[in-house]
Chain A
Amino acid sequence: SAVISQKPSRDICQRGTSLTIQCQVDSQVTMMFWYRQQPGQSLTLIATANQGSEATYESGFVIDKFPISRPNLTFSTLTVSNMSPEDSSIYLCSVEDWAADGYTFGSGTRLTVV
């Protein structure tokens, strides 16, 4: 099955700054997905990233706040911009993994904004 390396695993950031999260997959994938999990909550899809095109954002998420890059078929970044304490969450990337049946997730980035 696909192996996803996500980093950083955790970070503590000052409000007003930005953090870029990276996901590297060990195989080529068409679509990569970014999720947010707020404290004590479930996972919510932020956006879907296709290589060579702009990401598709879910309702309530905008590109200015969560810009995404997808430069090739194995890599993507999510930036959390102009952070506030409300952005404190776990951010996870995911791919559809045909070898394993279903979706596989990275280990997540635990972000705390102070």
Chain B
Amino acid sequence: GIQVEQSPPDLILQEGANSTLRCNFSDSVNNLQWFHQNPWGQLINLFYIPSGTKQNGRLSATTVATERYSLLYISSSQTTDSGVYFCAVERAQGAQKLVFGQGTRLTINP
């Protein structure tokens, strides 16, 4: 099956810092999503981005499908940005389902 690798696994930053999270995937995809899991376990959909660039406030994401990676940028981090960020992909060929990476745990200290 498709492999999804996220880096770094852990990231600790001070409030106000910027960060870049990376997601590499091993096959062509027709869906790529970034999620934020809050401390209560709820999964929040940040971006649907199988290709191209999107921005939503302090967050932006870029997927380069031909090179099989995606980046999530967080600018001017706030403590509420803390949590686990997951990249998930749906392979272009095969069964319809999302495959998740292992996540990046982001901690923003005040």
Contact = CB atoms under 8 A, between A and B. Distances in A.
Given A102-B33, A107-B42, A31 B96 contact: yes
Nearest to A45: B97
A90 B41 contact: yes
Given A42-B86, A42-B103, A43-B86, A104 B45 contact: yes
B43 A105 contact: yes
Interface in B5-34: 31, 33
Contacts of B97: 33, 45, 48
Contacts of B96: 31, 48, 96
Contact of A92 (B31, B43, B48, B101): B43
Contacts of A108: 41-43
Given A33-B97, A43-B100, A96-B96, A102 B41 contact: no
A42 B101 contact: yes
Interface string A2-18: 00000000000000000
Given A102-B31, A102-B33, A103-B33, A42 B45 contact: no
A108 B98 CA distance: 16
A56 B102 CA distance: 23
Interface residues of A, number: 23
A52 to B, nearest CB: 17
B41 A110 contact: yes
Interface in A57-92: 90, 92
Q: Which of B33, B41, B95 has the most CB of A within 10 A?
A: B41
Interface in B56-76: none
Given A33-B97, A45-B98, A102 B86 contact: no
Interface in A2-60: 31, 33, 37, 41-45, 48, 56
Nearest to A48: B97
Interface of A: 31, 33, 37, 41-45, 48, 56, 90, 92, 94, 96, 100-105, 107-108, 110
Question: Top 5 closest A-B pairs, CB basis?
Answer: A101-B48, A102-B48, A105-B43, A43-B100, A42-B100
